[in-house]
């Protein structure tokens, strides 16, 4: 038998190891982007979830001024982290509406009492149907809606302090 055949399993292992190592080191963008960016908001109507605050519908985004649509939940830890930035955006004059995903009125009321309430309207999305129809893959996500009711930008994850100036600039440009 030929001696080089004895090395074949070892060379196969080295080749497999090299492929796996390359795959682990290669950068991958696993972010799920919304296919709705650049398109109008789909039609929806969500009932109110917090007493004294109106629900939300796509008609609320009819031609007007640019604003944010925040997809969040009281059980979401990154949503707590982004709360101060949403309050800063509200103080800067940004109108923010929200879709509360799979939440309860009492948990949401407590969340807003602890972390601040930057929202003009909050819709109750019990089945995540609106969340999915706008192309959101999780919470928190924030969509910039232009004056014509089109989604112009999607911010995936919590809004950080260094994101605020960029969001404000994009909203000014969307008028």
* Domain architecture of the chain: domains with CATH: 45-173 (3.40.30.10)
| Strand order, beta sheet including 141-145 | 119-125, 96-101, 67-72, 141-145, 151-156
Interior CA angle at 84 toward 79 and 89, to 5°?
Answer: 105
CA atoms within 13 A on the CB side of 79: 25
- Residue pair 159/83 in contact by the 8 Å Cβ criterion: no
- The continuous run of DSSP H or E covering 169 comes out as helix 164-173
- Mean predicted lDDT score pLDDT of the chain: 92
Which pLDDT value is given to residue 147?
Answer: 92
- Residue pair 86/160 in contact by the 8 Å Cβ criterion: no
- For the chain, what percent of residues have pLDDT higher than 90? 75
Q: Can you tell me the mean pLDDT for 97-114? A: 97
Tens digits of residue pLDDT in 12-44: 888 888 888 887 777 666 666 788 999 999 999
Which pLDDT band holds residue 130 (cuts at 50, 70, 90)? very high
- The continuous run of DSSP H or E covering 121 comes out as strand 119-125
Which pLDDT band holds residue 159 (cuts at 50, 70, 90)? very high
47's CB contacts (< 8 A; 6+ apart) are: 55, 123, 124
């Amino acid at each position: 038998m030929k001696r080089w055949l004895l090395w074949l399993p070892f060379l196969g292992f080295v080749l497999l190891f090299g492929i796996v190592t390359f795959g682990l080191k290669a950068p991958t963008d696993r972010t799920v982007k919304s296919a709705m960016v650049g398109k109008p908001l789909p039609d929806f109507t969500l009932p109110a979830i917090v007493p004294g605050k109106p629900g939300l519908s796509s008609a609320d985004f009819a031609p007007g001024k640019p604003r944010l649509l925040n997809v969040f939940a009281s059980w979401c830890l990154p949503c707590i982290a982004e709360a101060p930035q949403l309050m800063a955006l509200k103080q800067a004059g940004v109108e923010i509406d929200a879709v509360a995903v799979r939440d309860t009125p009492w948990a949401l009321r407590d969340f807003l009492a602890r972390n601040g309430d930057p929202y003009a309207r909050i819709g109750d999305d019990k089945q995540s149907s609106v969340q999915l129809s706008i192309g959101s893959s999780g919470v928190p996500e924030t969509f910039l809606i232009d004056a014509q009711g089109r989604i112009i930008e999607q911010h995936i994850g919590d809004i950080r302090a260094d994101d605020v100036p960029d969001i404000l600039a994009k909203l000014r440009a969307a008028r």
